[in-house]
C-alpha cells in the first residue's frame, strides 16, 4: 500500500527517488515549478528535456535530476506551451508520472500542485484530482512506497489537507454504512 503524505515546502529540496515537474508538452522549463527545478537543478535537466523532445499532453518523460537531491525528475505534461491544464490532462499526467516512477523502481515520489499555478486549475480541483489519483494508484497496488505532495505555502497545504481529510471521512462513513 502506498503512503500518501502532505508536506509544506519547496519540492526542489526533496530527498526522494524522483520529483515531479509540472511540465508543458514541449518539455521547456519555464516558470513556476519548472523554473525552480531549472534554477536549482542546473542546466543538465533542460538539456535532457531538449534532447528528449516534446511529449503528448497527459504523458510524462524522465530526466536526471542534475544538482537536485532526487535521482530523477519526472516531467508530467499537463498542458501545451502557453495553454491550460484540464481535469483530464491532470489525471493522465499523474497516472503517467506514477507509472514511470514505478518503471524506474522508485520508492518515493514528490509531487507539486500540478496545474494550480500557470496551468489555470483551481487549487481545490487540483487537490481533489491529485489525491484521488494517488488513492487510485495505491488501491490498485502501485509499486511506490510513498507519494508525497509537496505544497508551496500554508494555504496550499491546508487546502490539500482539507480535501484529504474529507475523503477519509467519506471512506469511513461508507464502511460504517456497510458499502
Phi, psi of 94 (to 5 degrees): -65, -45
pLDDT tens by residue, 117-170: 888 899 999 999 999 999 999 999 999 999 999 999 999 999 999 999 988 888
Pairing relationship of beta strands 60-64 and 3-8 according to DSSP bridges: unpaired
Domain that includes residue 94, residue range: 3-176
In angstroms, rounded to a whole number, what is the distance separating the alpha carbons of residues 112 and 159?
A: 13
8 A C-beta contact, residue 61 and residue 77: yes
Domains of the chain: total: 1
CATH number of the domain enclosing 68: 3.40.220.10
pLDDT tens by residue, 42-68: 999 999 999 998 999 999 999 999 999
- Write down the pTM of the prediction: 0.93
Compute the mean pLDDT over every residue in the chain, rounded to the nearest whole number.
95
Amino acid at each position: 500500500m502506498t503512503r500518501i503524505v502532505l508536506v509544506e515546502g519547496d519540492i526542489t529540496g526533496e530527498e526522494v527517488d524522483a520529483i515531479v515537474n509540472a511540465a508543458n508538452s514541449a518539455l521547456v522549463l519555464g516558470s513556476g515549478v519548472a523554473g525552480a527545478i531549472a534554477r536549482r537543478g542546473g542546466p543538465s535537466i533542460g538539456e535532457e528535456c531538449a534532447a528528449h523532445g516534446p511529449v503528448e499532453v497527459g504523458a510524462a518523460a524522465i530526466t536526471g535530476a542534475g544538482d537536485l537531491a532526487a535521482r530523477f525528475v519526472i516531467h508530467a505534461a499537463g498542458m501545451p506551451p502557453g495553454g491550460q491544464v484540464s481535469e483530464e490532462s491532470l489525471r493522465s499526467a499523474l497516472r503517467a508520472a506514477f507509472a514511470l516512477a514505478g518503471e524506474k523502481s522508485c520508492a518515493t515520489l514528490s509531487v507539486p500542485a500540478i496545474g494550480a499555478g500557470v496551468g489555470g486549475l483551481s487549487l481545490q480541483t487540483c487537490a481533489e484530482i491529485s489525491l484521488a489519483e494517488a488513492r487510485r494508484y495505491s488501491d490498485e497496488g502501485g509499486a511506490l512506497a510513498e507519494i508525497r505532495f509537496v505544497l508551496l505555502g500554508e494555504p496550499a497545504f491546508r487546502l490539500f489537507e482539507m480535501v484529504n481529510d474529507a475523503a477519509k471521512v467519506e471512506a469511513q462513513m461508507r464502511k460504517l454504512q456497510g458499502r
